[in-house]
Amino acid sequence: MAPSAWAVCCLLGGLLLRGGSPNPGPSVPRLRLSFRDLLSANRSAIFLGPRGSLDLQALYLDEYRDRLFLGGRDAIYSLRLDQTWPDPREVLWPPQPGQREECVHKGRDPLVECANFVRVLHPHNRTHLLACGTGAFQPTCALLAVGHRGEHVLHLEPRSMESGRGRCPHEPSRPFASTFVGGELYTGLNADFLGHEAMIFRSGGPRPALRSDSDQNLLHDPRFVLAARIPDNSDPDDDKVYFFFSETVPSPDGGPGRVTISRVGRVCVNDAGGQRVLVNKWSTFLKARLLCSVPGPGSAETHFDQLEDVFLLWPNSGKSLEVYALFSTVSAVFQGYAICVYHMADIWEVFKGPFAHQDGPQHQWGPYGGKVPFPRPGMCPSKMTAQPGRPFGSTKDYPDEVLQFARAHPLMFRPVRPRRGRPVLVKTHLAQQLRQIVVDRVEAEDGTYDVIFLGTDSGSVLKVIALQGAGSAEPEEVVLEELQVFKVPTPITEMEISVKRQMLYVGSRLGVARLQLHQCETYGSACAECCLARDPYCAWDGASCTRYRPGSNKRRFRRQDIRHGNPALQCLGQSQEEETAGLVATTTVYGTEHNSTFLECLPKSPQAAAHWFLQRPGDERPEQQVKTDERVLQTEQGLLFRRLNRLDAGTYTCMTLEHGFSQVVVRLALEVIVPAQLDILFPRETRPEEPTARGGPTSPYSKAWYKDIMQLIGFANLPRVDEYCERVWCPSRSRTRGKQAKGKSWVGLELGKKVKSRVQAERNRTPREV
């Protein structure tokens, strides 16, 4: 299995690489905003608590009370969403006396494990939350008084403190999922001290606690990601709690070894266990595989089997719920991520389909072909089962035969396939890992788009759309923004969206950030820039780039084109700026013959491809595309002449092309100074200061004057290029940095003026032939 997986992975990697254009493709974020950019634009605000780090474990966004509750280390916080951020309340909740010492005594890490890490925060009733923490390896739950809506109260009810075993893991780090339904807490966790005993557990109500049967091997080393109640239909008796997780199971083809597989599992809310069989155990538990793979050459597929995160996109009305799932590959040699979308209706179909059956541990799995008893295992006691003459009002009434069958067949035979049979997005060769997913369905002028927010392990959030092509074409990925939410690289562990507030709440171990979903003015102040941004939230309103609101009466003025991002069509005559785009001022720059020189052109968007055109002096023909060769190189930052020739003189125009829209970025008139002129211009003692003493002894005009550009252009040296430029050649850069004047020569402008006046003076005095 391993070698073929290798081959497929590498092929996939290759295909994906080749699929992209050599220019920076759309998977490069069109806009990158740093931590500082976000803060200074009021796009984000951050809360790290009074000690500079919360050790955040749980986040509960309470839109009813307009509050954000945070579970940290030995503390819980409440932040008001409707006030100037953060206005916090804090309640300290350390472990019970003696527990910390006991935890250390049992050999646990005093810093990382022996504290009360609050991992559960759920609404209990209108005035209280249920909170559970690891309690230094003795899980504890308590009720937290938070007050009515409009109050900002926060305190623990001391008398409500009770054991949290089965309701909260012992450790802060182990994957865990929980949900609170009808006064009861459903958890998917490893419930024992050693973390070996995986189970789905229900507790907290008047009914006896229910758990999964540990003899039955229902769960194999699971990593729980999400638990949620999802109604099947309008009959509340049919309501189920769904669990999303990955597990490591014995190889399904009976071979040696174990494989990771992702699952959706479910139990009925009204499951009461069996009467003689499965007493106080789940009698309705079923699970199915969640498939997310990319077809490879032949029949080989690359599977994304490790579930990282799940987001439930609730429909407005009438439609079925959509499940967005973020997966990663399990392979040690190939790191890739995929996002697959599942219709809830397809998940229900799989649970209605055949059960998986295995004749023995060494046998292949197949569909169960025999008779399935009634009520069909997995069915909740409801109107369907309580038919006249069939009095199944509770799972306790189910015949033993049904419970035995359920016990032996917890797995469905068919996997759940994603919408369109493949991922909406595949990401490989990423510098970061992806951890969290949140999706917002946005109405735009030309359709509805799902904007995907991905939390990375380096403290940033990617904002992405996947454009579905016609027919079977691969979806096109557009990375709209990369937002560095946390100052230091730290994995993002929580993400919640408030559509009402148009905010994303992003948590890492350090703390939590509030991030606006969009800030349209950041894209620029011209129609073309707004259009090229292709952000479904934003449109050109005739004067600026602003939030697009469907159905508003200003609608006919709105310009937006998410699918094609074509400003030529959208922005015709929309602003002065576009009409005068061809009139970018020409800047004169100088280079010395036989030396290297560099003409810089920094496109606004990394997705734009730059092209250089040259108009030679006295040439009547229209400007020609610059021919590059060994001597003249085009780099991502501009045009590099390794050795300048006097015939290189002329006017260079750098144009960028993005979605068929071309824009003049910079226009530079290059004058070539011949060496003889220089010696006259700068007698040795009055030459400009040499930044480094690297000039060879034979060079009459030091090589250091230009420094070795090749070395500077090297990728690793990029920051140094700017620094160098700032210090030596561009003292006036900050003053001249205009909207369009992004280009500059390595000969600084001040210096350029000086040279020019000297050249003029010398020309007047000396014979032309120098």
Ligand X SMILES: *[C@@H]1O[C@H](CO)[C@@H](O)[C@H](O)[C@H]1NC(C)=O
Minimum distance from residue 587 beta carbon to ligand X (Å): 23
Beta pairing partners, 439: 452
For 689, phi then psi, to 5°, come to -55, 140
Residues in contact with 145: Cβ distance below 8 Å, sequence separation at least 6, in sequence order: 127, 128, 153, 154, 155, 156, 157
Minimum distance from residue 81 beta carbon to ligand X (Å): 9
Minimum distance from residue 127 beta carbon to ligand X (Å): 4
C-beta of 687 vs 756, nearer to ligand X: 687
For 249-299, the DSSP string reads EE-TTS-SSEEEEEEEEEEETT----SSSSTTB-SS-EEEEBP-EEE-STT
C-beta of 573 vs 700, nearer to ligand X: 700
Q: Which helix (H) or strand (E) holds 211?
A: strand 210-211
Binding footprint of ligand X on the chain (CB under 6 A): 42, 124-128, 143, 592, 594-595, 675, 678, 699-701, 703
The CA-based dihedral angle spanning residues 164, 169, 170, 175, taken in that order and rounded to the nearest 10 degrees? -170
Minimum distance from residue 282 beta carbon to ligand X (Å): 27
C-beta of 40 vs 448, nearer to ligand X: 40
CB neighbour class for 259 (10 Å; exposed up to 12, middle 13-18, buried from 19):
middle
C-beta of 219 vs 485, nearer to ligand X: 485
For 215, phi then psi, to 5°, come to -70, -20
Minimum distance from residue 148 beta carbon to ligand X (Å): 8
Minimum distance from residue 635 beta carbon to ligand X (Å): 18
The HSE-up count of residue 325 (CA atoms within 13 Å, CB side) is: 34
The HSE-up count of residue 624 (CA atoms within 13 Å, CB side) is: 10
C-beta of 174 vs 207, nearer to ligand X: 207
Alpha carbon of 97 to those of 91, 541, 568, 757: distances in Å? 17, 62, 70, 82
C-beta of 272 vs 504, nearer to ligand X: 504
Cis peptide before 375 (omega within 30 of 0): yes
Residues in contact with 499: Cβ distance below 8 Å, sequence separation at least 6, in sequence order: 440
C-beta of 551 vs 700, nearer to ligand X: 700
Residue type, 71: G
Q: How many CB atoms lie within 10 A of CB 320?
A: 13
Whether residue 340 contacts residue 327, with contact meaning beta carbons closer than 8 Å, is answered with: yes
Minimum distance from residue 695 beta carbon to ligand X (Å): 9
Q: Which residue is nearest to ligand X (CB)?
A: 675
C-beta of 146 vs 467, nearer to ligand X: 146
C-beta of 441 vs 703, nearer to ligand X: 703
Going by C-alpha positions, the residue among 434, 239, 252 that lies closest to residue 328 is 434
Whether residue 142 contacts residue 176, with contact meaning beta carbons closer than 8 Å, is answered with: no
C-beta of 47 vs 351, nearer to ligand X: 47
Going by C-alpha positions, the residue among 543, 539, 603, 548 that lies closest to residue 567 is 539
Minimum distance from residue 504 beta carbon to ligand X (Å): 12
Minimum distance from residue 499 beta carbon to ligand X (Å): 15
Minimum distance from residue 700 beta carbon to ligand X (Å): 6
**Can you list the pairs that 14-23 forms with residues at least 24 positions away whose Cβ atoms lie under 8 Å?**
16/426, 16/428, 16/429, 17/429, 19/474, 23/607, 23/609
Residue holding tokens 């610059």?
626
Residue type, 674: V
Minimum distance from residue 666 beta carbon to ligand X (Å): 25
Q: How many CB atoms lie within 10 A of CB 706?
A: 20
C-beta of 152 vs 220, nearer to ligand X: 152
Minimum distance from residue 461 beta carbon to ligand X (Å): 17
Q: How far apart are CA 661 and CA 608, in angstroms?
A: 9
Minimum distance from residue 147 beta carbon to ligand X (Å): 10
Q: What ranges in 685-748 are assigned the alpha helix state H?
A: 709-713, 718-724, 733-736
Alpha carbon of 684 to those of 18, 678, 681, 702: distances in Å? 53, 10, 9, 10
C-beta of 580 vs 699, nearer to ligand X: 699
Residues in contact with 718: Cβ distance below 8 Å, sequence separation at least 6, in sequence order: none
Going by C-alpha positions, the residue among 589, 242, 280, 237 that lies closest to residue 385 is 237
C-beta of 65 vs 124, nearer to ligand X: 124
Minimum distance from residue 505 beta carbon to ligand X (Å): 12
Beta pairing partners, 615: 651
Whether residue 265 contacts residue 242, with contact meaning beta carbons closer than 8 Å, is answered with: yes
C-beta of 38 vs 584, nearer to ligand X: 38
C-beta of 317 vs 698, nearer to ligand X: 698
Minimum distance from residue 47 beta carbon to ligand X (Å): 13
